[in-house]
Structure 1
C-alpha cells in the first residue's frame, strides 16, 4: 500500500498501472479496487500520451475483472468502424508513426532486390491491413528497367475482423489494382480471409512459375507460442513457409515479448511498447485532431486489450 500511495502522490501513472496489474495478478481484490478508483482520476483519452494509453489499459483491466478476455474483445469488435473508415484510420496511423513506414520500406527493399530479374512475382502478405506497404513497391516495379513483372498479391486477414467481413479485403484489392494500373504493372489480387493458425499450403495458391515473397508484418507477436499451447501455431506457420522455399521472407516486428503466457510480464511489455506509439502520434497529430481519438481507439486500443487481456489461444489478430 505504501508503494502504491507513493506512486499516486508523485502522479506516476505508469507505476500505478503496474501496481494495479500486480494486484490483479495476485488476486488482491481490495487493492485492485482502490487502485482502479485512483487510476480513473489519472487517465484521459484526450490528455498526455501516457494518460491516453492508461485509459485503454485501465478499461481492459476493468472489463477483465467483470468477464473473460474473449468476451471483452468480442464486445470491442461490435463497435468496429466500417471498412472504408478503418482504411482511413490505418493510413493516418501509418503516416503518424515513422517506424511503421521504415519497417515496411525495408521489407520492400529486400523484396525488390530478391525479384529484380523475375518476370512473375507472387507476394503472400500474412497481414494485409490497408495494403499501404505495397504502394512504394508497385511504384518501384513499374519503373524497373526492362519493364515491370506481373505481380500477384495474396492478402490474408483474420475472418473474424469486421474489416474482412465488411469487404475490407475487396477495397484493398481495388485500391492496389488502380495503383498498379497507374504505374503499368500487370496485377492480380486475391483476398484470403484466414486465421494464421489455420493456414495450409494449398490455401495460398503458390505456383512454381512465380518468384515467391512472403511477408510477416507485425503478425507473429499475436500468435501463441510453446508457452501457451503445445501446438505452437507460430512455429508451425514458420515451418510451413520454409517448406515453400520462398525467394525472400521478410519480417517486420515490434520489440516486445507479447507471446509469453504470464499476465504481468505481458502487461509491462505492452505498456512500454505502446507508450512509444502514443508518443509518436502526439508529435504528428494535434490533440484536437478530429480523427486522433478514432485512430487510437480503433487501431491501438483493441490491440492493447487483445494482447493484455485475452489469454492463450484467445489472443488473436486485432
Structure 2
C-alpha cells in the first residue's frame, strides 16, 4: 500500500513523457514502484487478504502510467491477470482462449518475430541433423512432433538432408514427419503446413511423408506411430511440456507419462526447447515477480526489432497477455502454463532415462545465425552454452533454452 501512495504523490506519475527510444531504454522510478505494488498485491492474495489486494489493484488502475510502450503493456497485462485471480467472475480466466487457433497464431507470430524463440528451434534442428549424420547406413529420418508444429521448424532438416544426399551419390533422402495431435482442432492448419512442406521438399529433392496421428498417451508406440527399423528417429518437444499438467495437479501426471512414452520409442535424439521461467512450484508472489521480470525483458527486446507497432507484433503481444494471464490468474488444473527452468527440465528428462547430449560444439554456428537474423542485428541479443544447453536471451537474461 505504501508503494501505491508514494506513486500517487510522485511527480513522475503526473508528468507525461514520450516513449523512450529502444536504444536508451531505462526503467522509470514509476515503473519500479508499480511493479513493487503488483508484488504486494500478489502477496496479499497469497495470504488470503483479498480485500487488501483488491484495494491495491483499484488504486493501481487509477494511477497514470507515464512510461515506455513495453512497460505500459506489461502493467496492463499484470493488472488484468491479478484482477482475474481476485475476481474470476468479473474478470474471467483466459483458459479456453489458450487452446484456440487464434492463440496458436499469436504464438506463431512470437516464434517468427523473436530470435530467442526461433533460434531455439534451429538449435534443436542441428541436433536432429547431427543424429542423422551419425547413421550413415540410412538416409531416412523420421521426426515425431508432439506440439502444434510450424513449417519453419523443418526448413533446416530439409535443406541439410538435401546437402547430405548430394554426398551420397545422388541417393534421395527421405524425411517423415509425424504430428501427434491430441484433438481434432487445427486439422486444416496442419494440412496446410504439410502442403507447404511438400512443396519445399520437392524443390530440394527430399522425399517427404507427412502424417497426422491422434492418439492418447497410453496408446503411443513405435508401431502406432509408423516407426521403421531402418530410419533415424527424432522427437521434438518444443514449447510442449510446460503446457502439460504434472504431479502437483494430476495423479496421472501426463508430463512424466509423455517422457516415459518418448523413452520407450527408443529415439536417436530428443530435442527440448522451452522458455526459461520458474513458474510452477514457486510461491504465488515469486511467480508474479518472475513473470514481471521475464515478460519485461521479452517486451523490451521487441523494441529493438520494431520502431512502429504492427499487426504481427500485436498478435504476439495478445498471445503473451493470455500466457501471462494463465500463469498468474489461474491455479490447479486451470493453470495451463507451467514453465520450469532448464535445470528442472534436465532433471526430469534424466529421471525418465533420457540423457543430455551437450550442444556446445554448435555454439559458433548459432552465433553466426544470430548475426544473420533477417532484421538488423542487435548485440543485446545473446546466445551462450550453459550446462549442456543453448541459452538465448536479451541483455543477460535467458528467455529460451534448447537442449538435446
Please classify the TM superposition score into its range, dividing by the shorter chain length. 0.7 to 0.9
Q: Is 2:110 aligned against 1:93?
A: yes
Q: Output the CA distance in 2 between the equivalents of 1:194 and 1:281.
A: 38
Q: What SS does the corresponding residue of 1:154 show, helix, strand or coil?
A: strand
Is the CA contact 1:110–1:250 (under 8 Å) kept in the aligned structure 2?
yes
Q: TM-score, normalised by structure 1?
A: 0.83
Q: What SS does the corresponding residue of 1:191 show, helix, strand or coil?
A: strand
Judging changes above 3 Å, is the alpha-carbon distance between structure 1 residues 80 and 123 closer, same or farther for their aligned structure 2 residues? closer
Q: What SS does the corresponding residue of 1:285 show, helix, strand or coil?
A: coil
Is the CA contact 2:124–2:272 (under 8 Å) kept in the aligned structure 1?
yes
In the other structure, the counterpart of 1:209 is 230
In the other structure, the counterpart of 1:167 is 188
In the other structure, the counterpart of 1:122 is 142
In the other structure, the counterpart of 1:280 is 301
Q: Is 2:122 aligned against 1:102?
A: no
- Worse-matched range after superposition: 3-12 or 304-313: 3-12
Offset, 1:153: 0.9
Quick one: which of 147, 152, 157 aligns to 1:137?
A: 157
Q: What SS does the corresponding residue of 2:271 show, helix, strand or coil?
A: strand
Offset, 1:122: 1.0
Judging changes above 3 Å, is the alpha-carbon distance between structure 1 residues 77 and 220 closer, same or farther for their aligned structure 2 residues? closer
Judging changes above 3 Å, is the alpha-carbon distance between structure 1 residues 198 and 314 closer, same or farther for their aligned structure 2 residues? farther
Quick one: which of 267, 273, 291 aligns to 1:252?
A: 273
Is the CA contact 2:95–2:335 (under 8 Å) kept in the aligned structure 1?
no
Aligned residue pairs: how many? 308
Q: Output the CA distance in 1 between the equivalents of 2:52 and 2:111.
A: 39
In the other structure, the counterpart of 1:290 is 311
Deviation readout 1:66-103 (Å, 9 max, x if unpaired): 337xx6224535985398xx2xx545422421111221
RMSD: 3.2
Quick one: which of 267, 289, 293 aligns to 1:268?
A: 289
Q: Which has the higher helix share?
A: 1
Is the CA contact 2:145–2:236 (under 8 Å) kept in the aligned structure 1?
yes
Offset, 1:209: 3.2
Judging changes above 3 Å, is the alpha-carbon distance between structure 1 residues 157 and 303 closer, same or farther for their aligned structure 2 residues? farther
Q: Output the CA distance in 1 between the equivalents of 2:253 and 2:74.
A: 30
Q: Output the CA distance in 2 between the equivalents of 1:42 and 1:190.
A: 53
Gaps of 5+ in 2: 11-28, 339-404
In the other structure, the counterpart of 1:179 is 200
In the other structure, the counterpart of 2:39 is 18
Deviation readout 1:102-137 (Å, 9 max, x if unpaired): 211111111101012232211111223433211122
Judging changes above 3 Å, is the alpha-carbon distance between structure 1 residues 288 and 304 closer, same or farther for their aligned structure 2 residues? same
Deviation readout 1:32-60 (Å, 9 max, x if unpaired): 2222223324688x952122122122222
Larger gyration radius, structure 1 or structure 2: 2
